[in-house]
Amino acid sequence: MSTITVPEPIPSPEEDSQRLKKAFEGWGTDEKAIIDILGQRTAVQRRHIAAAYQTLFNESLLQRLHDELSGDFRNAVILWATDPVERDAKLANEALIWVIIEISCASSPDHLMAVRQAYCSLFTSSLEEDILRKFLERLVSSYRYDGEHVDEELANSEAAKLYDALVIRILGIRSRSQLKATFKHYKQRYGKAFDEFISMLRTAVWCIDSPERHFAEVVRTSVMGLGTDEDLLTRAIVTRAEIDMKKIKEEYYKTTLVIGDTSGYYKDFLLTLVG
């Protein structure tokens, strides 16, 4: 369900590399040529272009893109030009837990395994180790605060039960004060507020059951309110354009994908990816 349009006949990687080199030279950069080439090539084709560019000109295509472009347009193009496995590994290293959930739940098993392998190669530690480290950092930074008199032992016990998803019974039979104490102990035990856990659980369910629904919501969130969250919008479109962007477009208002108040070559590039 990709929205990428590949021209026919497809130029060779060497031809695309020559065109990219020409786009970089002269007075200013030909951004439109970069969009036309990279924005209309699959991940495999982009990988071949990067290899051919390195062979022909003895320089990294990603580095040249970084040097030639700027702003949100540069961020989007470089994210797109990076191999998807390496891209997801880097996103997982930099990202909040939400991105890790997306990669884990909305990717194929083979892709996830490849991301884990790439992560080890890039960062000399496993993805699992770094997730645990970040979790423990949050855990030790939590603190106890005073509240109304309650049964603390019971609150601590039921915080553990909440983690095992025994939610409805506990929420239905305990008083507000008792539940506040339970939520306090939950945060101390697991390093996050209970409502954050519920939100994470919902995200995981959406990513497994209906990834297009989740990413449509990500796009909607990125363009709502004053201004656009370009990082959020870029990540959603770049990572899903070759996977299920057609379904995401159908889910998003059932009509078309809104790019928000983006402009210039950045907007052109995103519109190219979403078809």
- The structure's pTM equals 0.75
Superfamily of domain 13-134+201-274: Annexin (1.10.220.10)
pLDDT at 221: 87
Q: Where are the domains of the chain?
A: 13-134+201-274
24-49 pLDDT, tens digit each: 997 889 999 999 999 999 999 999 99
| pLDDT at residue 93, rounded to an integer | 81
Residue 108: predicted pLDDT? 85
Tokens encoding 155: 């609150």
Local confidence band at 199 (pLDDT 50, 70, 90 cut-offs)? confident
> What is the pLDDT, as a whole number, of residue 150?
73
Q: pLDDT tens for residues 260-272?
A: 678 899 999 999 9
Report pLDDT for 196.
82
Q: Quick one: tokens of 55?
A: 């062979």
Determine the Cα–Cα distance for residues 163 and 27; give it in Å rounded to an integer. Answer: 59
Higher pLDDT, 157 or 64: 64
Q: State yes or no: pLDDT of 137 exceeds 70.
A: no
Q: What is residue 228's predicted lDDT score, i.e. its pLDDT? A: 85
Q: Report pLDDT for 179.
A: 84
Cα(134)–Cα(97) distance, integer angstroms: 9
What is the average per-residue pLDDT within 129-152? 60
> Is the per-residue pLDDT at 58 higher than 90?
yes
Sign of CA dihedral 187, 189, 194, 196: positive
Per-residue pLDDT at 198: 78
The rounded percent of the chain whose pLDDT value lies above 70 is 85
Q: What would the two tokens of residue 122 be?
A: 């890039």
Structure confidence at residue 166 (pLDDT): 62
Amino acid at the residue 14: E
Quote the CA–CA distance of 33 and 272 in Å, as a whole number: 12
pLDDT for the residue numbered 209: 81
Question: Sorting pLDDT into bands at 50, 70 and 90, what band is 141?
Answer: low
Q: Which residue has the higher pLDDT, 140 or 59?
A: 59
Distance CA 35, CA 3 (A): 15
* Cβ neighbours, 10 Å, residue 124: 7
Of 34, 40, 45, residue with least CA distance to 4: 40
Q: What is the tens place of the pLDDT at every residue in 63-96?
A: 999 999 999 999 999 999 999 999 998 888 876 6
